[in-house]
């Protein structure tokens, strides 16, 4: 029976080990085996902690702490109403970004590589409801491609409401089910937007049936799930959807304290050549202001600039507002918590001097593909790392010897050269100097802008280095009608093909009266005096055999089973 344990939204590896009553090294080993590289002082989010706790026989429940409450409804003296944070989730190509494009009247979908959202986007809209009052709503758009489950999980953990987009002509798919799981784990309420109802193949009732099968019974079926038919293409139903978002948000009575210590979460981060580290932050408590000192994981900095989702400068940003900030000394990790501290002295004591690039010694195994991984932003990097760790071809694996944000640099080339690693540059092109140095050193840099291209490329590499496996297949059988020459372990025999086809350069099993009495190598096949490549069933031919098992004489009436050993793909 599992032991129950309450934990906060984030907990350090050291403290979690104490709670689980295991050695920190044992916990770290378990995390690594699950694909999570963590140090003893690193913070884990609740979902990661819950998964690893299960391995030690514990069942985790969320602690009711002020930090957790700040994502939802805070009942303090200074608490004020805040906009809802709505995450849009669903299966690839079901129209999530198109829906937000319709709501926002922008052109986001057209700019995405491969037509698939590559990382989280967050923005805030102003909506005039039926009561003529203006409402702010913050939307988070998460990728639908299966490789981005890490981003979707984070998206769900940030949210008050989840809009689950399901295509009316395609129905509930595996990633839809995954999104439902993430939404439920976060405790967020789910609204279903059945998109593409304008298409001829739309089947709303079938979608409702599938939703009910996943415990999302629609209201008109006697359940509690709000289901809104929409068309992101024509705009039909989108206002109704926004009305339902406003209504459900009102019922939740979402509040936050704008005067509390400012906190937020990193939605995205990248390195800009002109301004340095840039981070997208969703503020969930307090008010973020220019000039404040913020700590994020292992980095910190004084906030130099705050921009809204349309790159307009702001003096401050309150709860539920997505903003972009500059001023941090390093690129923070995706999903980390941002906290404002009194001064830089406090920030330095909290962060130390660690860097965000993670490296370790690569494997020298012939079946291991070492790579150096660079990506444009933290979200892309997290999704790539998760997907790459799952890649495998027989006994061949990918080893990420280094990963980081930004363009490929000389350090990456040096590490690649020393570890024999190829470099993956995702959505970030190296400059001409780096390309020249790489060519001189014979270092391969693979550039890509779409994640599944990277995965396909690595799969091909893995297949080539995997230990080959072979299988023996039967080509055909021949009944010996005559023997013409016998010298030591060689013989020339004639016979009739009784099944399949007989080919040269093959192996032979000699069978007599249903018993295997020996083996031989088939050198050549002749019809008359002419050597041939194949003789089909029903035809006669002559065979030149060698390496016949010692002491075995091929006789008239024997059956020769001709086989070949081939490599399995």
Residue 139 bridge partners (DSSP):
86, 123
- The crossing angle, in degrees rounded to 10, of helices 46-55 and 24-33 is 100
* Calpha distance 269→280 (Å, rounded): 6
d(CA 416, CA 422): 6
Question: Cα 448 vs. chain centroid, distance in angstroms?
Answer: 16
pLDDT value of residue 33: 67
- The percent of residues in the chain predicted with pLDDT above 90, rounded, is 32
pLDDT class of 36 with cuts at 50, 70, 90 = low
What pLDDT is recorded for position 39?
Answer: 63
**What does each C-alpha distance from 398 to 254, 290, 448, 567 come to in angstroms?**
45, 43, 17, 22
pLDDT of residue 567: 74
Are 503 and 481 spatial neighbours (Cβ–Cβ below 8 Å)?
A: no
In angstroms, rounded to a whole number, what is the distance separating the alpha carbons of residues 562 and 356?
Answer: 60
Q: Do 263-351 and 470-568 fold alike per CATH?
A: yes
Q: First and final CA of the chain: distance in angstroms?
A: 44
pLDDT number for residue 271: 82
Q: Which residues, in sequence order, are bridge partners of residue 5? A: 60
The span from the CA of 280 to the CA of 332, in Å, is 10
Which residues, at least 6 apart from 359, have a Cβ–Cβ distance to it below 8 Å? 401, 402, 415
Mean pLDDT of 159-170: 90
Please choose, from the candidates 232, 257, 234, the residue with its C-alpha nearest in 3D space to the C-alpha of residue 76. 257
Highest mean pLDDT among 184-188, 212-216, 404-408 belongs to 212-216
- Beta-bridge partner residues of 182: none
* CATH T-level fold of 83-253: Rossmann fold (3.40.50)
Rg (CA), the chain: 32
- Going by their DSSP bridges, the two strands 368-375 and 422-426 should be labelled as parallel
Instruction: Name the pTM for this structure.
Output: 0.55
Strand 226-229 to 189-195 pairing: parallel
Confidence band, pLDDT 50/70/90 cuts, at residue 71: very low
- What is the bridge-based pairing of β-strands 368-375 and 396-405? parallel
For residue 26, give every residue at least 6 positions away whose Cβ sits within 8 Å of its Cβ, in sequence order, or none.
17
Residues 6+ apart with CB under 8 A from 410: 434, 437
Q: How far is CA 193 from the centre of its chain?
A: 25
| pLDDT, average across residues 214-229 | 92
Q: Check whether 156 has a pLDDT greater than 60.
A: no
Three-state SS across 293-317?
A: EEEECCEEEEEEEEECCCCCEECEE
Q: To 10 degrees, what angle do helices 46-55 and 149-157 make? A: 110
| pLDDT value, residue 569 | 62
The DSSP bridge pattern shows strands 530-531 and 515-527 to be antiparallel
CATH number of 358-465: 3.40.50.10050
Could you say which of 1.10.10.60, 2.40.30.10, 3.30.70.590, 3.40.50.880 is the CATH number of the domain covering 263-351? 2.40.30.10
CATH of 470-568, one of 3.30.70.2860, 3.40.640.10, 2.40.30.10, 3.30.420.40: 2.40.30.10
Mean pLDDT of the region 452-479: 87
- 8 Å CB contact between 116 and 449: no
Count how many Cα atoms sit within 13 Å of the Cα of residue 191 in the half-sphere of its side chain. Answer: 24
Q: Is the pLDDT of residue 562 over 90?
A: yes
What confidence category does residue 47 fall into, taking pLDDT thresholds of 50, 70 and 90?
Answer: confident
Report which of 360, 378, 371, 379 is spatially closest to residue 400, judged by C-alpha positions: 371
CA distance linking residue 508 with residue 561, whole number of Å: 5
Q: How many degrees, rounded to 5, is the angle at CA 72 between CA 71 and CA 76? A: 100
Lowest mean pLDDT: which of 156-170, 237-251, 425-439? Answer: 156-170
Residue 541 has pLDDT above 90, yes or no: yes
Tokens of 325: 């900030």
Other C-beta atoms lying within 10 Å of the C-beta of residue 521: 16
Name the nearest CA neighbour of 496 among 522, 523, 531, 535.
535
Mean pLDDT, to the nearest integer, of 260-267?
86
Q: Cβ distance 60 to 67 under 8 Å?
A: no
**Domain extents for the chain?**
3-63, 83-253, 263-351, 358-465, 470-568
What's the mean per-residue pLDDT of the chain?
82
Q: What is the mean pLDDT of residues 204-231?
A: 93
102 three-state secondary structure: helix
pLDDT band with cut points at 50, 70 and 90 for residue 63: low
CA distance 116 to 137: 23
Q: Where are the alpha helices (DSSP H) in 187-220?
A: 204-213
Separation in Å, CA 174 to CA 120, 166, 170, 433, 486: 20, 11, 11, 44, 65
Crossing angle (nearest 10°) for helices 96-104 and 238-252: 90
Q: How far apart are alpha carbons 159 and 72 in whole angstroms?
A: 9
Query: Do 218 and 208 meet the contact criterion of CB atoms below 8 Å apart?
Result: yes
- Least-confidence region, from 218-227, 256-265, 377-386, 553-562: 377-386
What is the reported pLDDT for 366? 63
CATH topology assigned to domain 3-63:
Arc Repressor Mutant, subunit A (1.10.10)
Highest mean pLDDT among 66-75, 92-101, 147-156, 301-310: 301-310
Give the per-residue pLDDT at 472: 84
The answer on pLDDT for 57 being more than 50 is: yes
The residue to which tokens 């599992």 are assigned: 2
* Rounded Cα gap, residues 64 and 559, in angstroms: 79
């Amino acid at each position: 029976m599992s032991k129950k344990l309450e934990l906060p939204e984030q907990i350090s590896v050291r403290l979690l080990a104490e709670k689980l009553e295991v050695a920190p090294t044992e916990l770290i080993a378990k995390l690594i085996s699950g694909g999570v590289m963590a140090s003893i002082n690193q913070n884990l989010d609740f979902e990661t902690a819950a998964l690893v706790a299960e391995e030690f026989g514990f069942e985790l429940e969320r602690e009711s702490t002020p930090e957790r409450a700040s994502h939802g409804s805070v009942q303090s003296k200074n608490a004020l109403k805040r906009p809802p944070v709505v995450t849009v989730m669903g299966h690839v190509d079901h129209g999530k970004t198109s829906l937000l494009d319709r709501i926002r009247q922008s052109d986001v979908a057209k700019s995405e590589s491969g037509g698939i959202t590559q990382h989280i986007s967050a923005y805030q809209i102003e909506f005039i409801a039926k009561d003529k009052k203006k409402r702010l709503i913050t939307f988070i758009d998460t990728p639908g491609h299966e490789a981005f489950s890490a981003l979707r999980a984070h998206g769900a953990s940030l949210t008050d409401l989840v809009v689950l987009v399901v295509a009316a002509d395609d129905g509930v798919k595996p990633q839809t089910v995954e999104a439902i799981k993430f939404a439920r784990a976060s405790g967020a309420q789910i609204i279903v937007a059945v998109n593409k109802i304008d298409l001829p193949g739309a089947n709303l009732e079938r979608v409702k049936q599938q939703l009910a099968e996943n415990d999302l019974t629609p209201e008109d079926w006697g359940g509690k799930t709000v289901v809104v038919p929409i068309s992101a293409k024509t705009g039909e139903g989108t206002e109704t959807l926004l009305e339902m978002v406003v209504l459900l948000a009102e019922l939740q009575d979402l509040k936050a304290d704008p005067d509390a210590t400012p906190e937020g979460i990193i939605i995205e981060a990248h390195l800009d050549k002109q301004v340095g580290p840039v981070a997208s932050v969703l503020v969930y408590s307090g008010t973020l202001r220019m000039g404040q000192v913020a700590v994020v994981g292992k980095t910190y900095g004084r906030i130099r600039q705050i921009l809204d989702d349309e790159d307009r400068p702001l003096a401050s940003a309150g709860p539920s507002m997505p903003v972009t900030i500059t001023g941090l000394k390093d690129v923070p990790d995706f999903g980390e918590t941002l906290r404002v501290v009194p001064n830089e002295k406090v920030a330095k004591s909290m962060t130390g001097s660690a860097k965000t690039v993670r490296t370790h010694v690569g494997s020298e195994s012939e079946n291991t593909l070492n790579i150096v991984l660079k990506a444009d932003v933290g979200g892309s990097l997290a999704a790539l790392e998760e997907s790459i760790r799952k890649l495998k071809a027989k006994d061949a694996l990918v080893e990420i010897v280094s990963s980081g944000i930004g363009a490929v640099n000389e350090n990456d080339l040096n590490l690649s050269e020393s570890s024999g690693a190829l470099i993956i540059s995702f959505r970030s092109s190296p400059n001409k100097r780096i390309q020249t140095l790489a060519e001189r050193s014979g270092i391969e840099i693979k550039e890509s802008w779409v994640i599944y291209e990277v995965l396909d490329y690595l799969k091909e590499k893995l297949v080539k280095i995997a230990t080959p496996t072979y299988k023996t297949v039967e080509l055909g059988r021949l009944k010996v009608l005559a023997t013409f020459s016998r010298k030591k372990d060689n013989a020339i025999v004639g016979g009739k093909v009784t099944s399949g086809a007989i080919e040269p350069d093959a192996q032979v099993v000699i069978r007599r009266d249903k018993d295997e009495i020996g083996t031989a190598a088939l050198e050549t096949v002749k019809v008359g005096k002419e050597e041939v490549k194949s003789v089909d069933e029903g035809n006669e031919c002559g065979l030149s055999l060698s390496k016949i098992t010692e002491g075995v004489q091929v006789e008239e009436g024997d059956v020769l089973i001709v086989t070949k050993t081939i490599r399995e793909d």
